[in-house]
Structure 1
Amino acid sequence: MGKSQKKRQMRRHNPMRVPDSHLPKGLEAASSSSSRKDAILPILQKMESVDPAERKWACVAVSNLIQNDPSTRRLLQGKNVVGALINRLSDSEEEVIVEATGSLRNLCIDGGFDICAEMYNKNILTPLKTFIPKISKTLSEYLENPKTAPENAQQLVYEFADNVITILWCLSETSNKAMNAINQISLVPFLMSFLASRDKLPISTVTSAAQCLYVLTDENPPAVEEVRSNAPYSACILSIVQSREGLPQANGKNKEVEYDRSLALQVLCCGILRNISPVPPPSVAATVAVDRDIVMPTLEPVLSLISLPEASQDAQEQIAKEDAIPALEKLSLKHTPKSDHKTPSELELERLEHKLRTVQLALEVLTGVCATLPDPDFDVRDTDGEGADEDDEEAHEDEDMDDEPDVDMAPDDESGMKARSGSNATIFQTLVAPLLTLIQPTSLSFSPLDGLSPHPPTTSALSAIHVSALECLNNIFLSLRSAQVDALRADPDSGRRVWDSAWQALGAVGTDVDKPGQERRRAMWEIGVGVLWGVAEVWKGLLAPDETHVKVLIQLCDATTDEGVKVKCIGALECLAQHPESVDANRVIATYLLSLLPPWPAKPTPREPLLQAVSALVDIYSDETLPYDTNFRQGRFLDALVASVEGVRKAVRGIDRKKERELRARGEEVRDNLVAFIEYRRGLGV
């Protein structure tokens, strides 16, 4: 069973903050669903006006038009608004450039990878590169002598820097090609200058710099090495996490917003420290155990930062207030729109979303931590290691009859064993309980099946939290499965509570996940079934299978085209089938697993699910003394297994030794186990 690993193209906290996948393809469909299509042409025309006021107006208008409006965004994109805005980055007027970067920033955040890729392909990096030394020079002058410019001029530069950094952050997550190009800019010193001067700069700009650095150091060796090898850099990042500076006590809305942003900064710095670990001497960061002493103590409280049901209710109240406001005036040059002009309800929704994003970021960092739990300090060996693949089947090795965990069980290590048991109990109490709370959907967690959420950013944040919390749980139970879990198995009620809670969450998600716009519902099931497998593994033989659960897992296994999901379904079913007293459920599950084996009456089972099904049947019936073994004998399962041998051999021979070495090795092991199992059962004579 593989661990949920972060990958750049999947790890983005808001792949599409305002999704448009529910819309039919084509500009005509977007035009028919957009209420603002008549405003687009005038805006694009004014963007090329000789009057700088009109050009500025047009740039701001783009941001206003796309707000929570995916159809209009798609229409603008079809009219080459990205190219038009990139052209404005070379404008002769500074304010036009600032507003153009602001609109491009919003397009990046709301539109996700497609728009970011378009920006990269249209060479946005060329003008952005020229801005970085100019921003550095201006900021240095302001920091040395704040009186050199009025406050509004400084604010303009801070806003501009924030926009540029955010665009670079989003582009960094678009593709390896974009990341490699950004590596050539040498952004690390630029970004670190914001973190080093955090007490003199707006917290929002500093947080954007940290977010960009977090992304740049995610499995990106050039940036990792640059930060790691510069002792002042890692010391600065560590000091942000360890210090409570810049975390004002909540006193009014502004203080609360500042606190939220400062907390997000600490979470991001935890992520950066994990990305660059281990840090070499002489940095002070080399003297701390990052996960144990920094990340866990900082991030565990963040999991309880906000109640998701209350956040959902609060958001709906603010949405109702916003809907009650009369329609905004038509855009005009006389009343130039302001990009920062927001209603109180809009500001409250933004604050709420930011707090939710902080929780999601904490979960994202913890997902990596959970992949290595229990803490290595407790001398528990993680057989898969942090570099394990996402594919569960590659890490799920066939188990022996005595099912011994891969733990150092040396007799002279009694104290270490106690420490391990305590570690597992602590993990369970401090992480599992809040994570189970965070996977429960709210009324705003997913887009309706027939349209768009009433507030897509809140929905995007909530669903991202649910998915990330499931990823953490997946890694926790995978790690616990490989470790000493006697204390947990001694409390089957805990297992049942976790199992029921996971099913409750998935039940609220529903099974209608294949419609356009329901990608997050589908992700919940794809990751959630891995959690079910992990829980069932830890409490194998102790969870009495529910008929409905068995039926859903079988239906999902049949319906999905994702081989990894099929493997997880089979793994969960295998564990449920090993509840000794559940003879009927065992028969249903085993009959289904046998249907996946050759010779097939219909479509052949893909290779990895096939290997998992064979392995499952061998494990289930490896002990002929169990009550449910009567199904094996009365159902003539041995005959079915014998009939499958040649087909299994053929499937294994079809796995390329050079290209898929690990899968071939696993296939050969499963094939040999099957043959040996058949001989063993024949030898029993029953």
Structure 2
Amino acid sequence: MGKSQKKRQMRRHNPMRVPDSHLPKGLDAASASSSRKEAILPILQKMESPDPAERKWACVAVSNLIQNDPSTRRLLQGKNVVGALITRLTDSEEEVVIEAAGSLRNLCIDGGFDICAEMYNKNILAPLKTFVPKISTTLSKFLSTPKDVSESAQKLVYEFADNVITILWCLSETSNKAMNAINQISLIPFLMSFIASRDKLPTTTVTSAAQCLYVLTDENMPAVGELRSNAAFTTCLLSVIQSDQPAQPNSKNHAIPIDDRGLIFRVLCCGILKNIAPVPPPSLAATVDIDRAIVLPTLEPVLSLLSLSETTEQAQAFLAKEESIPEIEKLSLKHAPKSDHRTPSEVELQRLETKLRTVQLALEILTGLCASLPDPGSVVHGDDTKLDGDDESEGKLCEDMDADVDMVPDESPADSTPSNPTFFHTLVSPLLALIQPTSLSFPPSDGQSPHPPTTSALSAIHISALECLNNIFLSLRLAPAQAAHANADSGRMVWDALWHALDIVGTDINRPGQERRREMWEIGVGVAWGVANSWKGVLVPAESHIQVLIQLCNSTTDHSVKVKCIGTLECLAQHPDSVDSNRAIARYLLMLLPPAAAQPTATEPLLQAGSALIDIYSDETLPYDVNFRECNMLDALVASVEGVRRAVRGIDKKRERELRMRGEEVRDNLVAFIEYRRGLGV
């Protein structure tokens, strides 16, 4: 069972992108589905106009056309709009350069990796490199003599800096080649100058600098090393966390106002410190336990800042207001376009989206932290980590999931167990709330979401929360059996909450556009395995759950998902009194083994099925062992030995060394188990 690692993904502070991987490829398909194709040619023509006003208009018009419209974006891309905009970055008119940078920034956000790769291949870094020192020089003048510069001029430069930084951070996630090229620009001092002057600069620009720095320090050792080696930089980042007011959880009785940009900036600085930890002396950050003193206290309250159901209701209300606005009042190409032209409803939707992305970012950082928890088997429990809680603490476990319980100061996830009520409420309970889908979490099966950015953010939160839970329960799966029995109510609550979420997701996960639903199941079944392991023998298997797991195992082509399904079924089969469920699961597992399998089972699922049957029937005194005898499972296992041996021999010793060792272990255990059962004579 592998842990979910922190994924490289577009970390957008203004995510407009409509998931479109399922859409037909090619210009013909884009042209057929775009409602604005007539506007494309005039825009491209004006991009080359001798009149700078028309060139500026064309650059702004691109941003207006692509918003939440993948077909038009693809049509523009097919007409080389990226190349045309990159050319405008060297325009003789500054205003054209600024608007071209804004359009390219929005294309990065809207188009994702494909467009970023195209920009890199068309050498966008050449003009961007020249902008970095110019921006630094200009900002230095602004900060030293702010009264000598008009407010409008300052705003123009700040927005331009924001656009350039955003493009650079998007490009840095495109490929290792792009990242290596960006490493050569030496962006760290440039970006840290924004964070150091955060009190004098717009929050949006400073936040973009932090976003870029967060991405650059994500497993990128040149940037990590440069940041670690400068004590002033790391001390500055630490001061952001320690000096700013921490976020407060939302209350049922009153809503606590949140500085959205300030909060996401704080979370980003927390993530940067996590990326570069451990920090060497002489920095003050070297004296701080980043995980315990920075990451957990900063991020745990963020998990409870929002109610996803209430946020969805608010988004739907703003969407209804937006639909009621007459079309004539909305932006049109016939009028002078403005890059910041947004209705009040759009502004509020953006604000909600920023809050959602803040929660997603916190989850992403926590997933990385949870992935670094000790692996099962390496955790040594001393007397002070005894799992038996008293009656009072046991009662706390079943309190409402929104209970506000503070983190014990000297506690870390590595010290936590399923019986620890503080850990349970501060981390697990909020995560369970965040995996529950709302009506906007996924696009409908027959169309597009009414607001794709909100849908994208919500589904990302659900998936990130599942990844955190996956890592937590995998780390706790070897807790002693008596601990699980002592906390049976906790296990049932987690199990029920997980399946409630998956039931809402539904099993119609293979349609185009429903990739997020499928991902929910693929990660969710891993969480199910971890929970079932932690409370093995306690959870009563439901027939519906068994059938869904079997259906998913049969339908998926992902071997790791098959293994997770089989592992979960194995744990459910070990509920002592569920004889019928045990029989159904065992028969299915036997059908995965040779020669009974209708078609050859892949090696990893095959080994998991064989190992599962050994574990399920290792104790002949359990009530369900009657199934082993009555269903002649011993004969079936004997017949499978040669097929298992062939599968193990087929594993390459050099390329798949760990799998080969695992296979040999299962093969030997199977032979030994058969001899053991034969020796029982029952």
TM-score over 0.5 for the alignment?
Answer: yes
1:192-271 maps to which residues of 2 (within 5 A)? 192-244=192-244, 259-271=259-271
Tell me, yes or no, if the aligned pair for 2:416 and 2:423 is still in contact at 8 Å.
Answer: no
Name the residue aligned to 2:138: 138
One-letter amino acid of the structure 2 residue matched with residue 633 of structure 1: R
Structure 1 pair 160–489 and aligned structure 2 pair: CA distance change class (3 A):
farther
Distance 1:424 1:165 in 2: 43
Distance 2:218 2:386 in 1: 34
1:156-175 maps to which residues of 2 (within 5 A)? 156-175=156-175
Name the residue aligned to 1:592: 588
Tell me, yes or no, if the aligned pair for 1:563 and 1:608 is still in contact at 8 Å.
Answer: yes
Name the residue aligned to 2:314: 314
Tell me, yes or no, if the aligned pair for 2:550 and 2:565 is still in contact at 8 Å.
Answer: yes
* Residue 602 (structure 2) pairs with residue 606 (structure 1): yes
Distance 1:237 1:643 in 2: 63
1:501-512 maps to which residues of 2 (within 5 A)? 501-512=497-508
Give unmatched runs, 5+ long, in structure 2.
251-255, 388-410
The percent identity for this pair of structures is 76
One-letter amino acid of the structure 1 residue matched with residue 623 of structure 2: P
Distance 1:219 1:24 in 2: 34
Larger displacement relative to structure 2 (489-498 or 432-441): 489-498
Distance 2:484 2:130 in 1: 58
Report deviation, 1:133: 0.7
Distance 1:176 1:463 in 2: 27
The superposition leaves residues 60-89 of structure 1 with CA deviations (integer Å, 9 ceiling, x where unpaired) of 101111111111111111111111111111
Tell me, yes or no, if the aligned pair for 2:247 and 2:302 is still in contact at 8 Å.
Answer: no
Q: What is the total number of aligned residue pairs between the two structures? A: 649
1:529-608 maps to which residues of 2 (within 5 A)? 529-608=525-604
* Residue 629 (structure 2) pairs with residue 627 (structure 1): no
Name the residue aligned to 1:684: 680
Report deviation, 1:34: 1.6
Poorly superposed stretches of 4+, deviation over 6 Å: 10-16, 245-248, 329-334
SS at match of 1:578: coil
Report deviation, 1:245: 6.5
Q: Highest relative contact order (Cα 8 Å, sep 6+), 1 or 2?
A: 1
SS at match of 2:259: helix
Distance 1:472 1:657 in 2: 33
SS at match of 2:199: helix
SS at match of 2:239: helix
Distance 1:11 1:424 in 2: 33
The superposition leaves residues 152-211 of structure 1 with CA deviations (integer Å, 9 ceiling, x where unpaired) of 111111001111111111111111111111111111111111111111100111111111
One-letter amino acid of the structure 2 residue matched with residue 363 of structure 1: L
Tell me, yes or no, if the aligned pair for 2:143 and 2:200 is still in contact at 8 Å.
Answer: yes
The superposition leaves residues 462-491 of structure 1 with CA deviations (integer Å, 9 ceiling, x where unpaired) of 110000010111011111114567545412
One-letter amino acid of the structure 1 residue matched with residue 318 of structure 2: Q
Larger displacement relative to structure 2 (221-230 or 328-337): 328-337
Distance 2:239 2:156 in 1: 28
Report deviation, 1:17: 2.4
Tell me, yes or no, if the aligned pair for 2:466 and 2:523 is still in contact at 8 Å.
Answer: yes
Tell me, yes or no, if the aligned pair for 2:590 and 2:596 is still in contact at 8 Å.
Answer: no
Structure 1 pair 550–126 and aligned structure 2 pair: CA distance change class (3 A):
same
Could you tell me which of 423, 445, 454 is aligned with 2:441? Answer: 445
One-letter amino acid of the structure 1 residue matched with residue 489 of structure 2: D
Report deviation, 1:424: 4.0
Distance 1:57 1:107 in 2: 16
One-letter amino acid of the structure 2 residue matched with residue 595 of structure 1: M
SS at match of 2:338: coil
One-letter amino acid of the structure 1 residue matched with residue 47 of structure 2: M
Structure 1 pair 451–666 and aligned structure 2 pair: CA distance change class (3 A):
same
Structure 1 pair 601–295 and aligned structure 2 pair: CA distance change class (3 A):
closer
Tell me, yes or no, if the aligned pair for 2:11 and 2:211 is still in contact at 8 Å.
Answer: no
Q: Output the TM-score relative to the length of structure 1.
A: 0.91
The superposition leaves residues 510-533 of structure 1 with CA deviations (integer Å, 9 ceiling, x where unpaired) of 111111111111110010000111
Distance 2:310 2:495 in 1: 25
Structure 1 pair 483–206 and aligned structure 2 pair: CA distance change class (3 A):
farther
Report deviation, 1:244: 1.5
Distance 1:174 1:325 in 2: 38
Could you tell me which of 380, 403, 410 is aligned with 1:408? Answer: 380
One-letter amino acid of the structure 2 residue matched with residue 312 of structure 1: T
Distance 1:285 1:651 in 2: 51
Distance 2:11 2:56 in 1: 34
One-letter amino acid of the structure 2 residue matched with residue 371 of structure 1: A
Tell me, yes or no, if the aligned pair for 1:406 and 1:483 is still in contact at 8 Å.
Answer: no
SS at match of 2:19: coil
1:124-523 maps to which residues of 2 (within 5 A)? 124-244=124-244, 259-328=259-328, 335-373=335-373, 382-383=374-375, 406-409=378-381, 413-417=382-386, 420=415, 424-483=420-479, 486-523=482-519
Distance 1:329 1:483 in 2: 62
SS at match of 1:581: coil
Report deviation, 1:112: 1.1
One-letter amino acid of the structure 2 residue matched with residue 156 of structure 1: L
SS at match of 2:316: helix
Report deviation, 1:104: 1.0
Tell me, yes or no, if the aligned pair for 2:537 and 2:575 is still in contact at 8 Å.
Answer: yes
Q: Output the TM-score relative to the length of structure 2.
A: 0.92
Tell me, yes or no, if the aligned pair for 1:421 and 1:487 is still in contact at 8 Å.
Answer: no
Name the residue aligned to 1:6: 6
Distance 2:483 2:584 in 1: 31
Name the residue aligned to 2:94: 94
Name the residue aligned to 1:37: 37
| Aligned residues: CA RMSD | 2.2
One-letter amino acid of the structure 2 residue matched with residue 346 of structure 1: E
Name the residue aligned to 2:394: none
Give unmatched runs, 5+ long, in structure 1.
251-255, 374-381, 385-404
Report deviation, 1:371: 2.3
SS at match of 2:614: helix
Distance 2:290 2:38 in 1: 54
One-letter amino acid of the structure 1 residue matched with residue 514 of structure 2: Q
Distance 2:378 2:186 in 1: 44
Tell me, yes or no, if the aligned pair for 1:303 and 1:435 is still in contact at 8 Å.
Answer: yes
Distance 2:27 2:333 in 1: 28
Distance 2:257 2:40 in 1: 34
Distance 1:66 1:115 in 2: 13
Distance 2:192 2:125 in 1: 20
One-letter amino acid of the structure 2 residue matched with residue 518 of structure 1: Q
One-letter amino acid of the structure 2 residue matched with residue 414 of structure 1: D
